[in-house]
Structure 1
Amino acid sequence: MSDGEPDGLSALYISYMLYLLLSFQMRSTLSLLVMVLNEGRRQRRLMLECALSESAAMLHLVPSPLPRAPRKCWMRVRSKDWWERVVLKEFSDAEWRQNFRMTRRSFDKICGLMEPVLSPQDVTVRAPIPLQMRVAIVLYKLVSCSEYRAIANKFGVHKSTVKKFTYSFCKGMVSSVVNKLIKLPTEQEARAIARRFEHKFRIPQVMGCIDRTHVPVLPPSDAFKDFENGKGWPSYVLQAVVDDTHRFWNINCKMPGSTQEAEVLRQSALFHQAHLLPKDPKEISGTSVNLFLLGNPAHPLTDWLIKDYPPSPRIAPEQQSFNLRLSCVRTSAEVAFRRLKSRWRVLLKKSDFHYTFTPYVVATCCALHNFCESVEEEVDPAWTEDAAVLERDLPQPDVVWYDDPDCSEGQKVRSALCEHLKSSSPACEPV
């Protein structure tokens, strides 16, 4: 063996060392590769778990992984002491009238009328609010026009409960009760009304006075001008026909405050169904005169709606006397509106109702007014004084004369009535 060549033992040693070195490098590479693969799997698994947790939280399947504040209480305890102890057990009739505009007996009758609409349903979470308390909450809202929160605190309920009961009561009243309390008189009833009007004011064949009043509303921002009346505040026009006992037998409240009275009449069901009104004709000064309504100068003259003679320097004395007599009769409508608003002050303020719901509230108040009048619930003079103070902030618009030509049949009826009243005294009796 030459000196320049390695011997067999050295070559074997070198080969073994190379083998060890290569094996170590391969294991290191494989370990590194496994570590990289495991880390990738771990990150993908973590991302998948996060995505599933987020989706589940959005669908309310599992609690959200985000921290949440602990609930302080499941249901807040509210005191119903004023209603359950003070009102139900200690209130006198005078206190019932002051807070709900009717005695306890009349209140129970209203509860009976509203039972099909407002009775509590079966619930599982908490005890239902009794029917009497529901009705009391709504009446208190209509009487006081307080905010939902203030009424809720007084009765020991949540403000959303007050709103829910108010909406349910008024919509239920309009759908099932209003037509029972506000309805067209039969021919026999219309004759009785006319006889009482004639006995009081000497004008025959009057079966009702038609007039209007404006009720405040919270208008939509994009239609304020449509609701703005002649005095510059937003309103609905309530058109009503009143009998001699100051009850309404026809109402219409769907036109915004900018609408003229003649147009309000034309858009009403009363105008389109005038042919259905009781007739019972009577011979007066040689003219057949049907039962008719007494209107104001803003209305058109027809054979079923009589109004004043227009002002003129050449107006005859008997025509002036006739106009004076009509103005006396129309006080019946003015008294009815005054009593209506004295009872339900919600009609004197810009309430928090949506403007589309306000007509329901107005119709409900008119029906409740008729109910109170029918059971002889008196109006406290103090309520009228309070109403007068509130109404000064929102004065009623002036009457605008209707200038279109009068109906010839209406002129004949008016002339016959004027001739009939020539021999009567023009003095008016107090209403």
Structure 2
Amino acid sequence: MAHKALLALLGDTLSSKSDSSGSSSWSDLSSIRSEFSEDDDDEDRLFFPLMQYLIRLKRKRVDDYLHIIESWTDVEFRNRLGLSRKIAYSLIDDLEKSGCIANHKFGLKPLEPRLCFYIFLSFIANTEPLTPIATRFDISISSTFRVIRRIVAWILTKMDEAIKWPQDISDYRTICDSFHSKTGISNILGVIDCTHVKIEKPKNAREYCNPKGYYSIVLQATIDANLRFTNIYCGEPGSTSCARILRKSPIYHTASQDQSVLFPLNTFLVGHSGYPSLTWLVPPFRENKRLTLPQREFNTLHAATRKLSDKAFNLLKSRFKRVKLFTVYRNVAFITDTIVAACILHNYCIEESIFLELNAGA
């Protein structure tokens, strides 16, 4: 009977408390067993109070871990979950208002927005499997994965506001001025580059095996002087070259149709030597032992500028370690969406850093 299964579960719960509560837990269990030996009416009479008791125990375990998270210092919070407490609280408020997470309870677990968001952050900020995450939050593995997918889908709705191309001439000039002050090159609007995200061996393994010998999905991004992502394109297999990914990306098609839409005022991107030379994309001069001194100087500045993309990708993967490696997961669409969600959160972190720097300098 369901009652007997419930009694067994209650026995496990009480036995785990016996060290701290002495023999009283066992005496409580004995009395409960004697009650369950009565007729079916008595069992029915006790079933729902027992369910309520177990619900309270589980809720307490969840509340205890949420309390642990809230007790972390700001530095601990950021190191463990990837985001500052301020950003996390702001996003939790937005999540509550969005209606994406229902207010009612499923099973024995209250599925509140704060709980769901912390589950998601625990997943994306680490490379550990789902089992320890589910254990900490006292939720099933399948429910944990459903929560993560739902939060990822919700974060993707914020992409247009978080990752955006310069909107007006003042934005273009601000970005170009920032690059010029850091690199000495005028009219740079961004650095374009790709990074590989390691995945488990997929079904069509050959397509996803990159030149370095492991399986991956490629993230293409343009990065401004402050390490913000201004455009991303994600999901191509690891064997695809950067030049081919560029030609398949929306930014290439838009710029090919009308360059002035994305690159007014003679602005351009810089990229490594694997990219084609275009009116709006400038790779370094190819080394042929006949470069002039100005060309060599330009290449030196160009290389220093491209390091910004390495810095941005390293920052992304250090904050959200899941982007380093997706173990177990073979659903390419889910992996791609999670990488994009991490890029969105990355930009929130960069915006906060810029705000803090401006206030510190004021």
Range into which the TM-score falls when normalised by the shorter chain: 0.7 to 0.9
Q: Report the alpha carbon displacement of residue 340 of structure 1 after superposing the two structures with TM.
A: 0.5
Matches within 5 A, 1:259-270: 259-270=240-251
Identity rate, percent = 25
Q: Distance in 2 between matches of 1:152 and 1:86?
A: 16
- Are 1:372 and 2:349 matched, yes or no? yes
Q: Distance in 1 between matches of 2:222 and 2:236?
A: 16
Contact (CA 8 Å) 2:268, 2:282: kept in 1 or not? yes
Contact (CA 8 Å) 2:166, 2:172: kept in 1 or not? yes
Matches within 5 A, 1:13-412: 71=5, 72-73=8-9, 78=58, 79-88=61-70, 90-115=71-96, 116=98, 118-123=100-105, 126=108, 128-174=110-156, 176-187=157-168, 188-221=170-203, 223-274=204-255, 275=258, 277-281=261-265, 290-353=266-329, 354-376=331-353
Q: Distance in 1 between matches of 2:234 and 2:67?
A: 39
Structure ranking higher in helix proportion: 2
SS of the residue aligned with 1:356? helix
Q: Report the alpha carbon displacement of residue 119 of structure 1 after superposing the two structures with TM.
A: 2.4
Q: Distance in 1 between matches of 2:353 and 2:89?
A: 15
Structure 1: where are the runs of 5+ without partners? 1-66, 282-289, 379-431
Contact (CA 8 Å) 1:198, 1:206: kept in 2 or not? yes
Q: Report the alpha carbon displacement of residue 295 of structure 1 after superposing the two structures with TM.
A: 1.1
Give the superposed CA RMSD.
2.3
TM-score relative to the length of structure 2: 0.78
- The residue identity in structure 1 corresponding to 2:177 is R
Query: What is the aligned length?
Result: 301
Q: Report the alpha carbon displacement of residue 350 of structure 1 after superposing the two structures with TM.
A: 3.0
SS of the residue aligned with 1:375? helix
Q: Report the alpha carbon displacement of residue 162 of structure 1 after superposing the two structures with TM.
A: 1.4
Q: Deviations over 1:403-428 (max 9, x none)?
A: xxxxxxxxxxxxxxxxxxxxxxxxxx
Q: Report the alpha carbon displacement of residue 318 of structure 1 after superposing the two structures with TM.
A: 1.6
Q: Report the alpha carbon displacement of residue 193 of structure 1 after superposing the two structures with TM.
A: 0.2
Q: Deviations over 1:76-109 (max 9, x none)?
A: 8542254233223x22212211221233222111
- The residue identity in structure 2 corresponding to 1:92 is T
Contact (CA 8 Å) 1:113, 1:177: kept in 2 or not? no
| Cα distance change, pair 372–114 in 1 and its aligned pair in 2 (3 A) | same
TM-score relative to the length of structure 1: 0.66
SS of the residue aligned with 1:250? strand
Moved more, 70-79 or 291-300: 70-79
Q: Report the alpha carbon displacement of residue 140 of structure 1 after superposing the two structures with TM.
A: 0.9
Moved more, 268-277 or 198-207: 268-277
SS of the residue aligned with 2:149? helix
**Counterpart residue number, 2:17:** none
SS of the residue aligned with 2:326? coil
Contact (CA 8 Å) 2:109, 2:139: kept in 1 or not? no
Deviation above 6 Å: which 4+ runs of structure 1? Answer: none
Structure 2: where are the runs of 5+ without partners? 10-50, 356-362
| Cα distance change, pair 317–117 in 1 and its aligned pair in 2 (3 A) | farther
Contact (CA 8 Å) 2:103, 2:111: kept in 1 or not? no
- The residue identity in structure 2 corresponding to 1:346 is R
Q: Report the alpha carbon displacement of residue 185 of structure 1 after superposing the two structures with TM.
A: 1.1
Which structure would you say has the larger Rg? 1
SS of the residue aligned with 1:189? helix
